Amino acid sequence: QQQVKQSPQSLIVQKGGISIINCAYENTAFDYFPWYQQFPGKGPALLIAIRPDVSEKKEGRFTISFNKSAKQFSLHIMDSQPGDSATYFCAAFEAGGTSYGKLTFGQGTILTVHP
């Protein structure tokens, strides 16, 4: 019930290509969906986030698409660059109710962008 499932585990993209990472959740109480980017030896850093009352959010080359009925959301990285090579985690949490902001993470996707 609390899981967030993420795919693929790894992704290789050529420079300039589109990277797409998918996540699915079951807990309908989740109401905030951030994506984190993690470089080796570093902590996760917030990349972009979405609430379920919108279907899409774009920030620069990064776009989240959200399908509430399917309980799925995805990250699209347009014009992928070698500097985007990192591990990407989707996450979810219940911002309302008695939640204290615990994040539930997906399994992570290792993105490699070849020059």
Partner 1 sequence: EPEVTQTPSHQVTQMGQEVILRCVPISNHLYFYWYRQILGQKVEFLVSFYNNEISEKSEIFDDQFSVERPDGSNFTLKIRSTKLEDSAMYFCASRRRVRTGPVNTEAFFGQGTRLTVV
Give least dist CB 81 to partner 1, A. 23
Distances (CA, A) of 80 to 9, 14, 46, 60: 17, 7, 18, 12
Q: Please give the structure tokens belonging to residue 33.
A: 């969906």
Q: 17 or 72: whose CB is closer to partner 1?
A: 72
- Smallest separation, CB 28 to partner 1 (Å): 17
Q: How far is CA 66 from CA 30, 42, 51, in A?
A: 13, 28, 9
Q: How far is the CB of 79 from partner 1 (least distance, A)?
A: 25
Helix or strand holding residue 50 (H, E) = strand 45-50
Nearer to partner 1, 13 or 93 (CB): 93
- Residue with smaller CB distance to partner 1, 18 or 54: 54
The residue ranges that bind partner 1 (CB under 8 A) are: 6, 32, 34, 36, 41-46, 49, 51, 89, 95-96, 99-108
Shortest Cβ 115–partner 1 spacing (Å): 25
Which residues sit opposite 46 in a β-bridge? 36
- Pairing verdict, β 109-114 and 10-14: parallel
